[in-house]
Amino acid sequence: MNKRLGRKILDILKREIDLSKELFVVDYVGNDPFEKLVAIVLSQNTSDKNAIVALTNLKRISDLSPQGILKLSNEELEDALKPSGLQKERAIRLRKIAEEVIRGFNLKEILILPVEEARRKLLTLPGIGKKSADVLLAIYGKKTIGVDTHAARVAKRIGIAPSRAGYEGIRGALLEVFGDEENLDLVHRYLIALGRRWCKAKKPQCDKCPLREICLYAQKTSHMIK
């Protein structure tokens, strides 16, 4: 039943959403995992729009390699990252991750490990939490899914995850529903787009949402209005 729900949700979202019109900062770098990780760090706790501006600044002064990041002065790096906010913290994270990679932390080798082992290793990197690790792994085809604020909100409102579920509970619930999908990064993108367009944190547009017929929150809201 859960898998059928996942397929139904995706079928609807694919009809209603053109992902080519959505902004995702990870699309603005190459396929190298370090570059993807840089983009992911820039997207933490900010919008993809702001992260893309910061990334564009960074690409003007660096080749986005670990060596390129470390060649920059603190002032250069922080100034480039200002549009994403928290530039001092982000600069420290990027430097520390670059240092770890230069010391032998091989991202490409980690990406071929089993999911949970790969997650554990990525979580040892400075500033890389569960969401960032899962987003990176899903990009490279691993069976996991990142739980950002949009995905968490959508999962709880639709009824996929319990309202009090934490990160792992939401991730497990999403995998239960969408786990048969080949590309979970794509699933995550649709959930983000849904959250951006209709399932907003404040003033959700349930009356316009294409999932209103199967969403518990939308049904409850509609009943209350009536």
Q: Are 216 and 158 in contact (CB under 8 A)?
A: yes
From residue 109, alpha-carbon distances to 35, 46, 114, 122, 129 in Å are 15, 29, 11, 11, 19
Mean pLDDT for 28-48 is 96
Task: State residue 75 phi and psi, 5-degree precision.
Answer: -65, -45
Rounded Cα distance between 21 and 104, Å, is: 38
Within the chain, all domains assigned CATH 1.10.1670.10 are found at: 2-21+145-225
182-213 pLDDT, tens digit per residue, is 999 999 999 999 999 999 999 999 999 999 99
CATH number of 2-21+145-225: 1.10.1670.10
Q: Is the pLDDT of residue 223 over 80?
A: no
Best CA proximity match to 212, nearest among 3, 1, 9, 7: 9
Q: Which amino acid is at 197?
A: R
**In this structure, how many other beta carbons lie within 10 angstroms of the beta carbon of residue 122?**
22
Mean pLDDT for 59-81 is 96
Residue found by looking up tokens 């907003």 in the block: 200
Mean pLDDT for 74-98 is 96
What fold, for 31-139? Endonuclease III; domain 1 (1.10.340)
What pTM does this model have?
A: 0.94
What six digits make up the tokens of 15? 């009809």
From residue 135, alpha-carbon distances to 73, 184, 188 in Å are 29, 9, 9
Quote the pLDDT of residue 226: 46
Rounded Cα distance between 49 and 52, Å, is: 5
Residue found by looking up tokens 């082992």 in the block: 117
Quote the pLDDT of residue 3: 81
